[in-house]
Amino acid sequence: MRTAQQILADSAVIAVVGASRDPGKAAHSVPLQMQRYGWRIIPVNPTVDELFGEKAYPSLADIPHPVDLVDVFRPAGDAVDVVRQAVAIGVAAVWLQLGIVSAEARRIAEEAGIDYVEDRCLIVERAAGGLTRLG
């Protein structure tokens, strides 16, 4: 299993489940900051058409191209379903944001052989590793 920083270094396209249009929420500011550092952010939110200058999709299954990492900004109770969807689209890794923990989601990811991170923040790990996808 790769470390959180290895997952970020290896990922170019991140689907963000629960991405928010509200600039006051982490589900908006975190993906926006990752985009500024060069990652392609694909918002997954059934209530918006576009976020961060990218087309938004109602579900992971609706994204018409490969995704390297699924980042989850949904309550822990929703994580199991999101991880099942991530496995179904063949993603290499799933990341549950700070404060989100699910033993069942972890089990599903591990059984599928995909990398799994929980209760960690993308931007904290990006900064700690000095990671960027720019240039």
Looking only at the bridges linking them, the beta strands covering 50-51 and 54-55 are: antiparallel
Per-residue pLDDT band for 1 (boundaries 50, 70, 90) equals confident
For tokens 């969807």, what's the residue? 85
Q: What is the pLDDT of residue 102?
A: 97
Give the count of beta carbons closer than 10 Å to the beta carbon of residue 110.
12
Given a cut of 90, whether residue 106 has pLDDT beyond it is yes
Q: What is the pLDDT of residue 135?
A: 72
Given a cut of 80, whether residue 17 has pLDDT beyond it is yes
Given a cut of 80, whether residue 35 has pLDDT beyond it is yes
For the chain, give the mean pLDDT.
97
Taking Cα atoms as reference points, which of 82, 103, 111, 76 lies closest to residue 94?
Answer: 82
Structural domains of the chain, ranges and CATH numbers in brackets:
4-129 (3.40.50.720)
Q: What is the pLDDT of residue 31?
A: 98
* Per-residue pLDDT reduced to its tens digit, 60-94: 999 999 999 999 999 999 999 999 999 999 999 99
How many residues are recorded in the chain? Answer: 135
**In the chain, how many H helices and how many E strands?**
5, 7
